[in-house]
Structure 1
């Protein structure tokens, strides 16, 4: 293939891994347990369904997630994830399965047991789902930086040069919002107009590529709860690969830094200060070098330059999730104030824009 550009879907060949089992079962999003037990009957035929215990996780604001297991240690738990209403607007489900399998092949994801009509079943990862109070702790921060470096060092399929998924997705989200322009909603009064959002996207598309951030395989949704810390084994793993795909290195890191604020009631005072960012980035660059078989530590200028790039991409992250929340506000049945969340993300975008654009790399 040579060094040609390619879109994220063509990067991972489905023939590289065994075909994932597909079950023609649909699970009712409002009543998950009966459908989940139908899946367990297929996946774990030796389990006595009368003894299957279930646990519904309430952290997600996109999908419903249920664990099914026999013993309280949840050693062999099966996770059943039911896609939220109209989430196909954001997520290409074929790409999600492909990313899942690729990450699994590189030791970054659990086993994917099957797909079903409106979801996935996969291996439960034991450990603590982190909160904002954890991700800034030095030993956990170091583990997260290492795990992200592992993602970013996964080579592109057949040596092609991937394109960032960011612009394609943002333009798609904006076009979805344009289809229902003019619908009055008083809860959106403090949200910038679509015209203003379009102007900002045009500016971002011209401005951010000038920083020449490398395009790598990214998680793209590294909020705190998507980081599972296994203290016993001394590592973290990332979960939920719906938004995984090739993107700017600096975007993935910036997005994680934004998520230090939390989701349900974001507090952007928790955004990591410069000292914490530099510590994180030094661990990340050191891990990247080791994973590539290179020697030596990251130089100060390399760390500083990446820090400036990351802070520019903070804007793209706020903009992305602001648009996402506006679409969710329109379509989602999940009990979450998406309008308020969109307002907060856009407010923070315009608040930090003059600060980050003033940052310039040292000569």
Structure 2
């Protein structure tokens, strides 16, 4: 999800940290950039440096399960792809994980050819790890988001409903050659990849769940606004060899991610008090989705997913 940018650490935030015994001996607290459904604080203690994730009340409306986030963060850490979980205080909605001292990727980092094998290695590590506590499926989540938008009267982009048949066609095509689900982050924008130089870590498991691994690959590519060649490179690194069918699968999932996350933006646009242009953020994705829905490759991608080996 989009980055809120750094802000002020308030007394209310510090009071929530007080409720977490692992943070009682803290010596320093500073704000970190992070998602818009949580605030991330860097907390230094004599025992180590941690990140405290303070979740916000909009979480349930956006279909975020904080208990599942905690359980999945523990499982992701066990896979080796994510930092260790230190504490969870659900009564104050605080999750504490070990701080990773590295640089946050930008979209251009995701698309660097030399980084494709590194991203793929981290993905394979996560996907081979312990199963998560819940499932995630954008083909199911998108209709749920849409129903909420319609019930609450949140605005929809022009032609949004016109593409319902396209989404159904994607679902039908993907079902012809199903892929076993694996533990997935499901929100791998570049900012959720931390590079320590020797390896990359995958962080933030708000939207995590067992899912088609090619949603993960396609969503990472889509969030970075990559080209088809960029996606082919990433899929090849992930699979170990070129595959037209799996590249098409990842591209269709990337398309569904843009179509679905637009509704996330609409819900935030209608409910959030944050000073952030959620609508513009969502429309950037939606406009790219429309280009693909209307473009010459859509039918070919459906066919390749259904028939290619």
TM range (shorter): 0.7 to 0.9
Distance 2:267 2:223 in 1: 20
Unaligned runs of 5+ in 1: 1-27, 262-270, 287-297
Q: How many angstroms apart in 2 are the aligned matches of 1:272 and 1:32?
A: 44
Question: Which residue of the partner structure matches residue 223 of structure 2?
Answer: 259
**2-side partners of 1:278 and 1:198: how far apart?**
27
Separation in 2, partners of 1:69, 1:344:
37
- Superposed counterparts of 1:195-344, under 5 Å: 195-196=161-162, 198-231=164-197, 234-261=198-225, 271-274=226-229, 276-286=230-240, 298=241, 300=242, 303-344=243-284
State which of 96, 103, 123 in structure 1 corresponds to 2:76: 103
Alignment correspondent of 2:119 = 144
Tell me the CA shift for residue 34 of structure 1.
2.4
Change (3 A) 1:64 1:163: closer
Separation in structure 2 between the aligned mates of residue 135 and residue 168 of structure 1, nearest angstrom:
27
Match for 2:66 among 90, 93, 106?
93
State the SS of the aligned residue for 1:179. Answer: helix
Distance in 2 (CA, whole Å) between partners of 1:341 and 1:138 is: 26
SS in 2 for 1:242: coil
Q: What's the secondary structure of 1:142's corresponding residue?
A: helix
Give the match for residue 4 of structure 2: none
Task: Structure 2: give runs of 5+ residues left out of the alignment.
Answer: 1-7
Q: 2: distance between equivalents of 1:111 and 1:120? A: 11
From 71, 80, 97, the equivalent of 1:122 is: 97
Residue in 1 that maps onto 2:145: 173
The count of corresponding residues between Structure 1 and Structure 2 is 292
Contact 2:78 / 2:129 at 8 angstroms: preserved in 1?
A: no
- CA gap of 1:33–1:134, structure 2 versus 1, over 3 A, is same
Determine the C-alpha separation between the residues in 2 that align with 1:202 and 1:347: 19
* SS, match of residue 283 in structure 2: helix
Normalised by the size of structure 1, how large is the TM-score? 0.72
The equivalent residue for 1:22 is none
Provide the C-alpha distance between the structure 2 equivalents of 1:119 and 1:29, rounded to a whole number of angstroms: 15
Measure how far apart 1:62 and its partner are.
Answer: 2.5
> Counterparts of 1:6-17 in structure 2 under 5 Å?
none
Rg larger in structure: 1
User: 2:50 maps to which residue?
Assistant: 78
RMSD: 2.8
Contact 1:67 1:79 (C-alpha < 8 Å) held by counterparts: yes
Q: Deviations over 1:218-269 (max 9, x none)?
A: 11000001000011xx1101000011111122211110001113xxxxxxxx
Q: In the alignment, is the contact (CA less than 8 A) between 1:77 and 1:123 conserved in 2? A: yes
- Return the offset for 1:311: 1.4
**Rounded Cα–Cα distance in structure 2 between residues aligned with 1:349 and 1:211:** 23
Deviation, 1:164, is 5.2
